[in-house]
Structure 1
């Protein structure tokens, strides 16, 4: 074999030529050569014929020096690489980048081809993959609406180092996202808005699966002994727990993040995709993000949701006699004075009568309803009354001591965050006090 030809052959072709040469020289039978090369005897005769006519070059595939017809041209590949380097696409993972190429650029390419192109040019996917472990996963619920997993995650959703909390709920049976809402920190307002989205869009589920955050479960719930429980001691429900009870929803607590793994994996997917989608849409604030998420949910579910095992839904419609604003709220028990005035969060309010409703008697036990959508109202014997701000006369003080300076929180204090979240429901002289109560209740940080 000539030295120049030898460089054109690989090790397999060289070994094949040596075996065929022994057959041609009579040192080896064709049947033995077929066993050695793991070929049929007919194939061995065909190769021998080619070597006799064309020489050793017959063992080289005829397409080895030709460019495949389906190969991408250089301009096509260069265009994809330039898009990958652009500010909009540089942080997306490879699968998401491929979807964006189809949806926004009209470029169709398989994942394997894209992966090879990007990795060969030094690009790495920001979504690292660990070696998967075998887990005994809990089987999905058979019907949608049987179990809703709920959680929140802080993340840098916009460019910068500031983290915002995204609250979400997903159906266990289908993996369908049923609610997304973003706030500055994990708070009661975010979870109630997620529940509101779910009930209005799908209905009331059977169970909600959450962690042991103090929004869902009282911090002293696990400290009551068996003896105290037998004596009748009970722990008051949180405002979220009370709302779920009024909706007829069972609240289940997970003891570990792995127990509600589906919603935890949802955060991995959203953290990989949503920042890129927000950047492309030009979204830079929480208000814009919540408007964007309303349409984003449907697009996300079309890609990741699956069909349930049973077609019958476990969601139930909200009964007509229930007002969602009077359930997804905060409720306190108070007693009115002789002037139908009560206090809440160190502020005083007066019950406003109505010709259609019976008068609230003096010294009556009432339920105060505080809602981000309805403001502050009073419930008495199944009837709901409006309230107005009431300023009690100040007691005379003859002491000439120094007056205390009023503390004014800074602009970045979380009590002040969300001043535009709640619509103006009261007169100018009372709105600021009501707004302070709403912010303190719904947007405060929980331990």
Structure 2
């Protein structure tokens, strides 16, 4: 038994034509209701009298679209993705197909192709969680979120390392990326120095409560500052520590994006060391920002240039205070250093 399925528009057309056939409305009224010319109206009426309701069902239903890509083209695209971008999502795969192969497709079209070929599985929609978003800062350089992301960035081709991420709160623009062996004070000093020399001084850095940014064991005898905090204080840059990962959500989401996109970009470029990655990162930043950065509410850039008397290289160092004894000696790290008179 064949089940006839009609769309809402076809049901409405059927009802109007039946009323016309029974003489309840005039042809001119039916033409106005259906938006048809007289010849079209009577052609449909003739089809209704001959075939019944089935005559009004679109004859294109169940047939391939005239705009459908050929099977050969679909096989070609799926073959490229299967060979080179097997673990890429449809969005990222679309971008690489356009950039590297000159094949322009919509994300949804590619997703349907990959699902039909068994290369991609549809994801279950996540239940939306309600939360209050923090408004962006208005100007570029007003607040820069900072975080370190420990990850297997080279997919076992090289050592596991940490990516230091600096992202502007107003624009979601990646300001600086740097690979380091670990999330240490010296790594942050080196990366922050590069940031300041390139962009100038932001109003504030926004970080978590990592010991590089906050002294969690401060006592009454100390000022409570870390070595990096003391250097930034001398350069008049504030450090704000977030109370939760959600508070610095912009850099946390950027970490997730980078762990997906940057890992794949470095794989395609054959990068397997920290030095090679740091040479590659500036070009990746430009491509990432072209895709994800947005315009700030206020077009001003509030980064401040370094003053002539501010020596970033001299400030970004590890400083320890020691007292020289009467015998011109000082103790540091379980060793005694004797000074020349």
Please report the TM-score for the alignment, with normalisation by the length of structure 1. 0.65
Aligned pairs (5 A) from 1:199-210: 199-210=196-207
**In structure 2, what is the equivalent of residue 308 of structure 1?**
296
Aligned pairs (5 A) from 1:4-23: 10-12=5-7, 19=15, 22-23=18-19
1:277 aligns with 2:270: no
SS at structure 2 position matched to 1:283: coil
- Once the two structures are superposed, residues 175-210 of structure 1 have per-residue CA deviations (whole angstroms, 9 ceiling, x without a partner) of 111111122322122222321221121111111111
| From 77, 92, 95, the counterpart of 1:96 | 92
Between 123-132 and 280-289, report the one with greater CA deviation.
123-132
* 1:22 to 1:293, Cα distance in 2 relative to 1, 3 A: closer
| From 315, 321, 337, the counterpart of 1:333 | 321
Aligned pairs (5 A) from 1:33-182: 40=33, 43=36, 46-52=40-46, 55-56=50-51, 59-61=56-58, 63-64=60-61, 67-86=64-83, 88-124=84-120, 130-160=126-156, 163-182=160-179
Q: Residue 326 of structure 1: CA displacement?
A: 1.1
**In structure 1, what is the equivalent of residue 252 of structure 2?**
264
Question: How many residues in Structure 1 have an aligned counterpart in Structure 2?
Answer: 334
| From 197, 211, 226, the counterpart of 2:208 | 211
- Once the two structures are superposed, residues 279-315 of structure 1 have per-residue CA deviations (whole angstroms, 9 ceiling, x without a partner) of 0000112222122113322221121111222222111
Higher helix share: 2
By relative contact order (CA 8 Å, sep 6+), the higher-ranking structure is 2
| From 269, 276, 285, the counterpart of 1:288 | 276
CA distance in 2, matches of 1:297, 1:316: 22
Instruction: Point out where structure 1 has 5 or more consecutive residues left out of the alignment.
Output: 352-360, 363-447
CA distance in 2, matches of 1:346, 1:128: 59
* 1:43 to 1:252, Cα distance in 2 relative to 1, 3 A: same
Tell whether the 8 Å contact from 1:30 to 1:44 is kept in structure 2 after alignment: no
**In structure 2, what is the equivalent of residue 430 of structure 1?**
none
CA distance in 1, matches of 2:273, 2:123: 25
Asked which structure has the greater CA Rg, the reply is 1
Tell whether the 8 Å contact from 1:30 to 1:41 is kept in structure 2 after alignment: no
Between 42-51 and 243-252, report the one with greater CA deviation.
42-51
Tell whether the 8 Å contact from 2:151 to 2:162 is kept in structure 1 after alignment: yes
Instruction: Point out where structure 2 has 5 or more consecutive residues left out of the alignment.
Output: none
1:240 aligns with 2:240: no
